[in-house]
């Protein structure tokens, strides 16, 4: 599949090189168009070397007089041969041109000729972003159905702090990949996801936890957001940035996770419990540090609330997906958990396989469905697995409704 990467003239233009690399890693062929001012920030050679393809820099620059006279006009050809147009950074100037239909260079001309999905990743100074002209242009572009990714808030190159920073290239690439598959199939859904570990205090300085990094749950949140869902991500303590566009509710303990999830479940149409919730906790945490005096110490642990089971008993017609982290008997244990907790699907995760599961960027799972199917999903990135889970979840919901 081919995508056009349009690069606007802003300091974030250098990040478009990373975006090109990430898009190619998604299996997409990248054709780059640099605006004249983008060429002041980054050279065409960078993109040509990264993508192995010719870079377009100007409306007439790459064409001979013969080409111009031929019926094949390049911007029309590029529009026809590519499935997605992504513009990153989309400057205030480009947003204004697109909103008003100006066509005075290759990228703005291509925009008018392009009929496929369009992804815009704005980046600019905070005041420019907040200016009523930009706000109005954005609302025109949103109304046309373009996917707007970011901007993020933070320290900007101009010295100000606020919204305006280009979204994480990984996030932009995920939205482009979903757009390339033409997936808006979660639009209108509210997806509630739990991710990461919980921490159960033993005393003021120690706690019990597990190896969950949050990567699987965050990949699910990113995929749902890219496919048009509103996403609420209830996250235990992790060290990875939240996907832009996703509402994050941070919690620490299993009890806090339970309260956050149950408190938001009414809003959700799909609930996914990928968190590695501690099964036990200390109910009476001492106010001071446990001293190293005795030779042995015993912990008196009580079970934490089983959040998935509680959701199962109250889920109504919501689709409920749990995970099962197992070291043996994956299918039978996943099936047992699905029935006991009244889930519609369990993502069975063998967690003693090298290079997958906890902490890794990769995973390898088996989807155990309430319809009786079991679907093995071969080793892939957590982002890819997340999309596969949603593909099957939507199919499962149709099958469950049809059987009612």
Applying CB under 6 A, the span of 95-103, 154-162, 220-228, 354-362 interacting with ligand PMT comes to 354-362
Q: Which two tokens stand for residue 127?
A: 């005041």
Binding mask 296-325 for ligand PMT (x = CB under 6 A): --------x-xxx-------------xxxx
CB closer to ligand PMT, 184 vs 364: 364
Among 28, 95, 124, 351, binds ligand PMT (CB under 6 A): 351
- Please, what is the angle between helix 215-226 and helix 382-402, to 10°? 60
Instruction: By CB under 6 A, tell whether 58 contacts ligand PMT.
Output: no
CB closer to ligand PMT, 23 vs 277: 277
Instruction: By CB under 6 A, tell whether 254 contacts ligand PMT.
Output: yes
Distance between CA atoms of residues 112 and 121, nearest Å: 18
Among 349, 369, 389, 390, binds ligand PMT (CB under 6 A): 349
Report whether 93 contacts 100 (CB < 8 A): no
**Whether residue 158 lies in the annotated active site:** yes
| Of residues 149, 88, 78, the one with CA closest to residue 116 | 78
In angstroms, give the least distance from the CB of 229 to ligand PMT.
Answer: 19
Is residue 313 classed as helix, strand or coil in its secondary structure? helix
Instruction: By CB under 6 A, tell whether 6 contacts ligand PMT.
Output: no
Q: What are phi and psi of 134, to 5 degrees?
A: -70, -40
Q: Who's near 91: CB < 8 A, 6+ residues apart?
A: 8, 9, 10, 37, 122, 123, 124
Among 274, 312, 350, 387, binds ligand PMT (CB under 6 A): 274
Q: Who's near 341: CB < 8 A, 6+ residues apart?
A: 306, 308, 309, 311, 312, 322
Applying CB under 6 A, the site for ligand PMT has a residue count of: 27
Read out DSSP for 192-253? EEEESB--EESSSS-EE--S--SHHHHHHHHHHHHTT-EEEEEE-S-SSPPPTT-EEEE--S
Q: What are phi and psi of 363, to 5 degrees?
A: -150, 165
CB closer to ligand PMT, 91 vs 213: 213
Distance between CA atoms of residues 164 and 214, nearest Å: 27
Given the residues 136, 158, 161, 299, select the one marked as catalytic.
158
CB closer to ligand PMT, 96 vs 375: 375
Among 75, 215, 227, 383, binds ligand PMT (CB under 6 A): 215
Instruction: By CB under 6 A, tell whether 253 contacts ligand PMT.
Output: no
Instruction: By CB under 6 A, tell whether 223 contacts ligand PMT.
Output: no
Among 16, 275, 338, 368, binds ligand PMT (CB under 6 A): 275
Give me the active site residues, please.
Answer: 158
- In the complex, the residues that contact ligand PMT under the rule CB under 6 A are 196, 212-216, 254, 273-277, 279, 304, 306-308, 322-325, 337, 349, 351, 357-359
């Amino acid at each position: 599949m081919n995508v056009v990467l349009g690069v606007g003239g802003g300091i974030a233009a250098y990040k478009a090189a990373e975006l090109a690399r990430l898009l190619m890693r998604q299996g997409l062929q990248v054709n780059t168009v640099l605006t004249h001012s983008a060429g002041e920030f980054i050279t065409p050679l960078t993109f040509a070397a990264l993508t192995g393809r010719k870079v377009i820099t100007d409306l007439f620059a790459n064409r001979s007089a013969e080409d111009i006279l031929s019926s094949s006009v390049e911007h029309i050809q590029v529009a026809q041969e590519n499935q997605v147009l992504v513009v990153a950074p989309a400057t205030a100037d480009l947003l204004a041109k697109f909103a008003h239909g100006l066509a005075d260079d290759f990228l703005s001309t291509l925009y008018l000729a392009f009929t496929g999905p369009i992804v815009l990743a704005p980046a600019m100074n905070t005041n420019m972003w907040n200016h009523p002209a930009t706000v109005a242009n954005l609302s025109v572009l949103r109304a046309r159905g373009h996917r707007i990714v970011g901007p993020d808030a933070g320290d900007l190159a101009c010295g100000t702090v606020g919204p305006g920073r280009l979204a994480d290239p990984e996030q932009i690439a995920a939205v482009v990949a979903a757009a390339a598959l033409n997936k808006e199939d979660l639009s209108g859904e509210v997806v509630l996801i739990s991710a990461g570990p919980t921490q159960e205090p033993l005393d003021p300085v120690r706690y019990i936890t597990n190896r969950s990094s949050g990567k699987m749950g965050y990949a699910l949140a990113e995929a749902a957001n890219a496919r048009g869902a509103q996403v609420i991500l209830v996250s235990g303590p992790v060290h990875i940035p939240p996907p832009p566009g996703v509402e994050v509710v941070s919690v620490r303990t299993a009890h806090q996770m339970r309260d956050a999830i149950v408190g938001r479940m009414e809003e959700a149409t799909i609930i996914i419990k990928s968190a590695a919730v501690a099964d036990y906790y200390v109910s009476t945490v001492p106010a001071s540090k446990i001293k190293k005096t005795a030779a042995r110490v015993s912990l008196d642990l009580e079970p934490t609330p089983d959040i998935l089971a509680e959701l199962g008993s109250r889920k109504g017609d919501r689709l409920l997906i749990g995970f099962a982290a197992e070291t043996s008997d994956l299918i039978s244990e996943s099936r047992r958990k699905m029935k006991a907790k009244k889930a519609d699907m369990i993502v069975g995760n063998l967690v003693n396989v090298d290079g997958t599961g906890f902490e890794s960027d990769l995973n390898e799972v088996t989807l155990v469905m309430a319809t009786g199917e079991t679907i093995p999903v071969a080793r892939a990135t957590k982002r890819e697995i997340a999309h596969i889970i949603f593909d099957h979840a939507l199919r499962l919901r149709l099958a469950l409704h049809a059987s009612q």
